[in-house]
């Protein structure tokens, strides 16, 4: 199983769990690389995601954060791939209600089409970029399982999660196997 990280606005910095997971498991994780992380344009972000998905050679789970989740929703509305086996959608940013709409061109309205693959939406009760009710709405619309983490902010580096072991457990649940445990050695463990 391969995992493709899809960061949100400004990408995921060195203290973000996405980056930490990539460093811990370089053989398992890749990252979608957007040309412009600071001025996201939906058509560009979706096209880049599609490009990297089209180059996959094996089963892959998408691991998205914030605006990356909304990018996945737009991608799934326009494209499909038999290589995508699931998606972990963490702290989806509510582009529909964003005060930064001029920074996130084309992301609203957020698609409400059921995803063609298993997915889990993980959200927080005190996320400044989406209410818990809106996150639940996204999960319901996308046909995703919903996990409320309580007060974890935007579930990012500022939340102080480090390598976010709870997130690894959720990802393993989605993947249907234990794969991300031995971060001390950087080696994956399979059942």
Q: What is the DSSP string of 115-126?
A: PSS-EEEEE-TT
Rg of the chain over Cα atoms, rounded to whole angstroms, equals 15
Query: By the 8 A CB rule, do 174 and 118 touch?
Result: yes
Query: By the 8 A CB rule, do 78 and 134 touch?
Result: no
- Percent with pLDDT over 70 in the chain: 89
The total number of structural domains that make up the chain: 1
Q: Which two tokens stand for residue 109?
A: 């309205």
Q: Assess whether the previous peptide bond of 189 is cis (omega < 30° from 0).
A: no
Domain harbouring 160, CATH code = 3.40.50.1820
- CA distance linking residue 81 with residue 124, whole number of Å: 30
The answer to whether residue 182 is domain-embedded is no
Domain around 76: 2-175
- Model confidence at 101, in pLDDT bands (50, 70, 90)? low
The answer to whether residue 180 is domain-embedded is no
Q: What is the mean pLDDT of residues 64-76?
A: 97
Q: What is the mean pLDDT of residues 8-35?
A: 94
Q: What is the mean pLDDT of residues 22-37?
A: 95
How many CA atoms are closer than 13 Å to the CA of 129, on its beta-carbon side? 23
Whether residue 183 is predicted with pLDDT greater than 60 in this model: the reply is no
Q: What is the mean pLDDT of residues 148-158?
A: 94
Q: What is the mean pLDDT of residues 94-117?
A: 83
Q: What is the mean pLDDT of residues 96-110?
A: 76
The answer to whether residue 118 is domain-embedded is yes
Question: What's the mean pLDDT when you consider all of the chain?
Answer: 90
What SS3 class is residue 183? coil
Phi, psi of 95, rounded to the nearest 5 degrees: -60, -25
- Percent with pLDDT over 90 in the chain: 81
Whether residue 178 is predicted with pLDDT greater than 80 in this model: the reply is no
Element (H, E) at 3: strand 2-6
The answer to whether residue 189 is domain-embedded is no
The answer to whether residue 191 is domain-embedded is no
Predicted local distance difference test score (pLDDT) of residue 23: 94
Q: Higher-confidence residue: 100 or 28?
A: 28
The answer to whether residue 144 is domain-embedded is yes
Can you give the pTM of this predicted structure? 0.91
The answer to whether residue 17 is domain-embedded is yes
- Model confidence at 180, in pLDDT bands (50, 70, 90)? low
Q: Give CA angle at 115 (112, 119), nearest 5°.
A: 110
- Model confidence at 97, in pLDDT bands (50, 70, 90)? confident
The answer to whether residue 159 is domain-embedded is yes
């Amino acid at each position: 199983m391969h995992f493709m990280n899809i960061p949100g606005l400004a990408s995921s910095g060195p203290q973000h769990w996405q980056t930490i997971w990539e460093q811990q498991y370089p053989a398992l994780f890749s990252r979608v690389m957007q040309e412009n992380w600071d001025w996201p344009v939906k058509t560009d972000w979706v096209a880049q995601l599609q490009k990297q998905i089209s180059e996959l050679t094996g089963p892959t789970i998408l691991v998205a954060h914030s605006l990356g989740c909304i990018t996945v929703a737009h991608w799934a509305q326009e494209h499909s791939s038999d290589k995508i086996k699931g998606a972990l959608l963490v702290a989806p940013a509510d582009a529909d209600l964003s005060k930064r709409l001029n920074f996130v061109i084309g992301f609203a309205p957020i698609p409400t089409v059921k995803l063609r693959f298993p997915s889990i939406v993980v959200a927080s009760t005190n996320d400044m970029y989406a209410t818990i009710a809106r996150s639940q709405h996204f999960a319901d619309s996308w046909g995703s399982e919903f996990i409320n983490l309580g007060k974890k902010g935007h579930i990012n580096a500022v939340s102080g999660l480090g390598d976010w072991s709870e997130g690894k457990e959720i990802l393993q649940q989605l993947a249907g196997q234990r794969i991300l445990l031995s971060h001390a050695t950087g080696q994956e463990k399979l059942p």
